Amino acid sequence: MTETKTEQLLWQRRSVRGYHDTPVPRDAVTRILCAARRAPSGANLQPGRFHVLTGAPFEGLKGALALAVAEKRPMVAQYSYFPQPMPADLKARQRTAGYALYHALGIERRDIAGRKAQFDKNYRFFDAPVGIVVTIQKDMGKGCFMDLGMSLMALFLAAEDLGYGTSGIGAVANYADVVQQTLDLPDDELVVCGVALGRTDEDAKVNTVRTERDELNIFTSFRGFDT
């Protein structure tokens, strides 16, 4: 069976953590976001808002986040991203992904300072030329987070199709209060994550990392098929 364009995009897409500083035209971002909004949602509620930043406003947000980190301000997340506590099998998967990233950058496991410096790049949106803060109304149900996730995946694929790299940045929600205040967001919006967007720097070592996915038999069961 011939591989479809969608399959090609899914296989080639990766989380990009190194970008060129080439500006992303507004019309390209508009196309990407309009495609993202085509994702399905229960009762067509279309949950999620996308606050797109570049230039001075973007630098202002990154500066505010950097200050919060430097001052060791308490993290104020508005929802739990990971299971608490993290099951051992999932913790092992998390560590494997982290070690692969640090290994590619030559950061040793015991290099706490080096690992922190790399993690803090999340708050700079990995120096991408465009950053998107994703929010959702606080009174939405859990299913609406699923719908928002579909919209985000549509965003990633639309960007990939136009030749842009992306990365979801859950860490941005660690300082939801800082983001809320800096962007003057409405009180009814909950900060979900950030998204970095720009042209991929193919020479950046950090972009050589590819995480593995489970084999089909691990996450799927088939019933009623002949073979």
Q: How many domains does the chain have?
A: 1
Examine residue 214 and state whether it is found in any structural domain, yes or no. no
Output the pLDDT for position 1: 84
Examine residue 41 and state whether it is found in any structural domain, yes or no. yes
Q: What range defines the domain where residue 154 resides?
A: 14-207
Output the pLDDT for position 94: 92
Distance from C-alpha of 152 to C-alpha of 116, rounded to nearest angstrom: 27
**End-to-end Cα spacing for the chain:** 17
CATH number at residue 179: 3.40.109.10
Examine residue 118 and state whether it is found in any structural domain, yes or no. yes
Burial tier of 45 (Cβ tally within 10 Å: 0-12, 13-18, 19+): middle
Output the pLDDT for position 109: 85
Per-position pLDDT tens, the chain of length 227: 899 999 999 999 999 999 999 999 999 999 999 999 999 999 999 999 999 999 999 999 999 999 999 999 999 999 999 998 999 999 999 999 998 999 999 999 889 999 999 999 999 999 999 999 999 999 999 999 999 999 999 999 999 999 999 999 999 999 999 999 999 999 999 999 999 999 999 999 999 999 999 999 999 999 999 87
